[in-house]
Structure 1
Amino acid sequence: MSPRMGATLMVQGTTSDAGKSTLVTALCRWLRRQGVAVAPFKPQNMALNSAVTADGGEIGRAQAVQAQACHLPPHTDMNPVLLKPNSDIGAQVIIHGRAVTSMNAAAYHDYKRVAMQAVLESHGRLAARYPVVMVEGAGSPAEINLRANDIANMGFAEAVDCPVILIADIDRGGVFAHLVGTLELLSESERARVKGFVINRFRGDIALLQNGLDWLEERTGVPVLGVLPYLMDFHLEAEDAIDTRQAAKTGERLRVAVPVLLRISNHTDFDPLRLHPQVELMFVGPGQPMPPADLIILPGSKSVRADLAFLREQGWAAALQRHLRYGGKLVGICGGLQMLGRTLADPHGLEGTAGESHGLGLLDFHTVLEAQKQLRNVSGRLALEDAQVSGYEIHAGVTEGPALALPAVRLSDGRVDGAVSADGQVLGTYLHGLFESPAACSALLRWAGLREVRSIDYHALRERDIERLADQVEAYLDTARLKSLCGL
């Protein structure tokens, strides 16, 4: 006899950013509170924010956060297909945590049949190990142009025969049209899979919404499982869009500027700074001048040579030189590190057209992109104050040169990482997540000019908000129906 497979419940949204990631995270932690072993799953993710897994691959950061909600280490089976766009029409395709190819959208449409096999293999392994698999869809199931060979929404739900919850964001407006319209665009068998609605981000008196909820249930025959309120002062790492929200901050503040590159990646690196009570974080978009700042951070990029050219086109390279002349500090992370060197070569065309670019020349090293991507979770000591630091590496670059004799980080595995300039103004590192380590974050802020630094525990803040989400499930959703949908 084959082992009993766990139940699968899928959350789909009427739009992007409807709250799918948030609801899956909430349900995962709520189930763990009930003593249920649950695993998160997203068949296909398209995002430039990724995380390194315990088994040495990469997945979307949203699934890594959901794994935390389940008290599990992230695993590649939790997001078997990850697409990392490197142009407007193309993306790197990552299967089971490893980059296998790059292709344009039309070619990937045909490749979905192959990708679906990877999806079903990963789901099968999770369903064999966990009583519940909580699945997140992508975008909307009503995107007619993407319905053929779909592996992200109803195509997956039909393949594994699972029920679906549909979530919509009332804060956008038109929530009833979103829900009813989505159902209308589904096939009969797909509509039958939708077992409940959840309305997200509601503000105001719920009594004023009740007649609309009654109409919705009568019109569709689908029950409303609950209405989740708009949460203020809430943070969950964004799957793709940059979160620029900041609370009002008083007292001494450090001004930190981050240029938003066209293919900016892992911008969740800056969430600890955005949430820090003493940091004024400024994302600088296209066409905007670089503002006066104490610290400028060059972020990661999925297309470093193209983004380096974009940086120059925007006049930001000249602004960096001016910033350094006036005594400002500069950090480069991953792709940002590579930009700081003398040259950057992509001989195999991994991120675009093959070729070599002149770097900013601020650190004496050269970088060559190689086909084998380096994926590691690491820890060590920062050159600044010998502060403890941990993070992760996701890069194809191999960097060599004299500047590495003054490393930014000494890693616990014996390697060294990055470089610090001889004058102490420029620091480059491959480590994503370095601001999440309280000691390293405080040391970097002091280095950049903040005199009295308040230490914050970013991981504790994230855990607090995951718990808040589980509280919302208990308070506002029909938990009896949810348990039934989870096969409990």
Structure 2
Amino acid sequence: MPALMIQGTGSNVGKSLLVAGLCRAARRRGLKVMPFKPQNMSNNAAVTADGGEIGRAQALQALACGVALLSDMNPVLLKPETGVGAQVVVQGQRRTSTSAADYALLKPRLMEAVLQSFHRLQAQCDLVLVEGAGSPAEVNLRANDIANMGFARAADVPVILAGDIDRGGVIAQIVGTQAILDPEDAALIAGFLVNKFRGDPRLFDDGYNLIEARTGWWGFGVIPWFHGAARLPAEDALDLVDNGKGGPIKVACLGLSRIANFDDLDPLKQEPGLAVQMVMPGQAIPGDAVVVILPGSKSTRGDLAFLRAQGWDVDLMAHRRRGGHILGICGGYQMLGQSVADPDGIEGPPGETAGLGYLDIRTVMTKDKRLTRSSARHCATGLTVTGYEIHIGRSEGPDCARPFAMLEGRPEGATSADGRVTGSYLHGLFTDDAFRGAWLAGLGVQASGLSYAQGVEQVLDDLADHLEAHVDVAAMLALAR
């Protein structure tokens, strides 16, 4: 079946959203569409229907397509564990952890898996929309590339190049990309898009015409800034900002160095009674926070050290003395215990690190990774909580006798004796509207009554409408082969 690839002149130019919008637009034309990203780097992952994990952006794109999440949609997922190393997930399952230098040696062996996944998706749909990674202009990485032109050449997929005018220099971005590419790579690019324009797009007519004249590529449109993007799950931790505006009740979340699955917070951000504030490195935990959330982490022991280096352990002690609540999710749950041991060095050097000591549990990292969608019964309210688990490690201790929830007939998570510190391995718990409302009621906040899932669906429809209004979508889709 036909395919079309969106590549970018750099990271964060809007490739993920462009593909999501095109997915929804193509679906509304009656096509069965599948998203695909050969290689992704993100600690924000989603659990698939076939028991694997993929980048959160591909999960959003699958939602735009109205199809189940499959591991083949993102066959190579890199999950950074340190500044120079990452976990390598292939077709949904952890294969190894490697340094950047060693990954360059591993990469040539991954193209087979990438093409295998791509062709399996092609056999199931009418159209595959592919997202590149980073930029094809990184020609120093072109050898054995599986993410951009290396994949496009191997699969014979036409490319549209997107530039970001908001960061400036979009003419140089697009013209310069063509100038530096291998001619055979450049020949696969059929046209370009100018994304994230603020103001009247007609003011860029001269620049747009110059790009067409210099490159010989067809221009498919100038896309104004899409303000609804802030209401969709972000994949890149670089997109996290201090957004402490909102209602009278403040929820603070720690911006850990290896923060993972931070979209757990997204449903809370839509609540007008809350002010959700990301506490970034160098900042203190606000003294007026009612709840502090310790989010997931790709390196629990590493982020414990990072947390202490910021002085957040001292802030948490003060928060606890003031009667504040603490919620730990996944890696954040592990940090709340007495200790975190990693005898086999799965997440870093072998060893054991003292936890924060707010829950009487101990965690041991294990080689087995739990990847599953889960439905549990919240012990405090009796409500059903739906979410997913994506973690290594086993946590046990006396406070597990006061579980957060009952999952498959067994206790899940732990709660302190006074009920003000809670930990759970369940991600995505706040997407459940009824549970979110009950949790907010416990803080004295009236829930908005809005459906988070319906809100995301509406934004995806708005995104497709936005592209249809400013881009020749029909001509773009006609390029697919």
Q: Report the Cα distance in structure 2 between the residues aligned to 1:373 and 1:272, rounded to whole angstroms.
A: 26
| Residue 42 of structure 1, aligned match among 37, 41, 45 | 37
Name the amino acid aligned to 1:364.
Answer: D
* 1:456 is the counterpart of 2:453: no
Shift of 1:206: 2.3
1:333 maps to 329
| Residue 417 of structure 1, aligned match among 407, 412, 417 | 412
CA RMSD, Structure 1 to Structure 2 (Å): 1.4
Q: Report the Cα distance in structure 1 between the residues aligned to 2:474 and 2:318, rounded to whole angstroms.
A: 61
| Residue 359 of structure 1, aligned match among 355, 358, 382 | 355
| Residue 242 of structure 1, aligned match among 239, 249, 266 | 239
Q: Is the 8 Å Cα contact of residues 225 and 478 (structure 1) preserved in structure 2?
A: yes
Q: Report the Cα distance in structure 2 between the residues aligned to 1:414 and 1:391, rounded to whole angstroms.
A: 16
* 1:145 is the counterpart of 2:157: no
Shift of 1:335: 0.4
Shift of 1:480: 3.2
Q: Is the 8 Å Cα contact of residues 86 and 263 (structure 1) preserved in structure 2?
A: yes
Q: Is the 8 Å Cα contact of residues 337 and 363 (structure 2) preserved in structure 1?
A: yes
Q: Report the Cα distance in structure 1 between the residues aligned to 2:242 and 2:316, rounded to whole angstroms.
A: 25
Shift of 1:387: 2.6
Q: Report the Cα distance in structure 2 between the residues aligned to 1:143 and 1:368, rounded to whole angstroms.
A: 40
Q: Is the 8 Å Cα contact of residues 228 and 459 (structure 2) preserved in structure 1?
A: no
Q: Report the Cα distance in structure 1 between the residues aligned to 2:360 and 2:294, rounded to whole angstroms.
A: 17
| Residue 309 of structure 2, aligned match among 310, 313, 317 | 313
Shift of 1:385: 2.1
2:12 maps to 17
Shift of 1:63: 0.4
Q: Report the Cα distance in structure 1 between the residues aligned to 2:186 and 2:312, rounded to whole angstroms.
A: 50
Correspondence 1:400-479 to 2 at 5 A: 400-411=396-407, 413-447=408-442, 449-479=443-473
Correspondence 1:73-472 to 2 at 5 A: 73-234=68-229, 235-240=231-236, 241-244=238-241, 246=243, 249=246, 252-292=247-287, 293-411=289-407, 413-447=408-442, 449-472=443-466
SS of equivalent residue, structure 2 residue 328: strand
Shift of 1:135: 0.3
Q: Report the Cα distance in structure 2 between the residues aligned to 1:162 and 1:171, rounded to whole angstroms.
A: 28
Q: Report the Cα distance in structure 2 between the residues aligned to 1:138 and 1:475, rounded to whole angstroms.
A: 26
Q: Is the 8 Å Cα contact of residues 14 and 182 (structure 1) preserved in structure 2?
A: yes
Q: Report the Cα distance in structure 2 between the residues aligned to 1:247 and 1:216, rounded to whole angstroms.
A: 40
Residues 129-159 of structure 1 deviation map (CA, whole Å, 9 limit, x = unaligned): 2121110000111112211110000000000
* 1:484 is the counterpart of 2:481: no
The aligned length equals 478
SS of equivalent residue, structure 2 residue 79: strand
Shift of 1:324: 1.1
Which deviates more, 92-101 or 204-213?
Answer: 204-213
Name the amino acid aligned to 1:475.
Answer: A
Q: Report the Cα distance in structure 2 between the residues aligned to 1:57 and 1:233, rounded to whole angstroms.
A: 29
Which deviates more, 229-238 or 118-127?
Answer: 229-238
SS of equivalent residue, structure 1 residue 88: coil
Q: Report the Cα distance in structure 1 between the residues aligned to 2:248 and 2:107, rounded to whole angstroms.
A: 49
Name the amino acid aligned to 2:189.
Answer: V
Q: Report the Cα distance in structure 1 between the residues aligned to 2:148 and 2:444, rounded to whole angstroms.
A: 47
Unaligned runs of 5+ in 2: none
Shift of 1:15: 1.0
Residues 331-368 of structure 1 deviation map (CA, whole Å, 9 limit, x = unaligned): 00000000111111101101101011111111111111
Name the amino acid aligned to 2:84.
Answer: I
Shift of 1:483: 2.9
Residues 420-464 of structure 1 deviation map (CA, whole Å, 9 limit, x = unaligned): 1120101100011111111222222222x2343323321111111
Residues 368-402 of structure 1 deviation map (CA, whole Å, 9 limit, x = unaligned): 11111001101122223223211110110111111
SS of equivalent residue, structure 1 residue 317: helix
Name the amino acid aligned to 2:334.
Answer: Q
TM-score, with length taken from structure 2: 0.97
Q: Report the Cα distance in structure 2 between the residues aligned to 1:96 and 1:157, rounded to whole angstroms.
A: 19
Name the amino acid aligned to 2:453.
Answer: H
Residues 166-201 of structure 1 deviation map (CA, whole Å, 9 limit, x = unaligned): 111111111111111111111111111111111111
Q: Report the Cα distance in structure 2 between the residues aligned to 1:31 and 1:7, rounded to whole angstroms.
A: 12
Q: Is the 8 Å Cα contact of residues 420 and 428 (structure 1) preserved in structure 2?
A: yes
Shift of 1:73: 0.9
Q: Is the 8 Å Cα contact of residues 384 and 444 (structure 1) preserved in structure 2?
A: no
Q: Is the 8 Å Cα contact of residues 22 and 236 (structure 1) preserved in structure 2?
A: no
Shift of 1:247: 9.1
Q: Report the Cα distance in structure 2 between the residues aligned to 1:451 and 1:459, rounded to whole angstroms.
A: 21
Q: Report the Cα distance in structure 2 between the residues aligned to 1:258 and 1:423, rounded to whole angstroms.
A: 21
Unaligned runs of 5+ in 1: 1-5
Shift of 1:233: 4.0
Which deviates more, 196-205 or 54-63?
Answer: 196-205
Change (3 A) 1:133 1:335: same
Q: Report the Cα distance in structure 1 between the residues aligned to 2:239 and 2:353, rounded to whole angstroms.
A: 28
1:3 maps to none
Q: Report the Cα distance in structure 2 between the residues aligned to 1:168 and 1:465, rounded to whole angstroms.
A: 22
Shift of 1:245: 6.9
Shift of 1:277: 1.5
Q: Report the Cα distance in structure 1 between the residues aligned to 2:406 and 2:355, rounded to whole angstroms.
A: 24
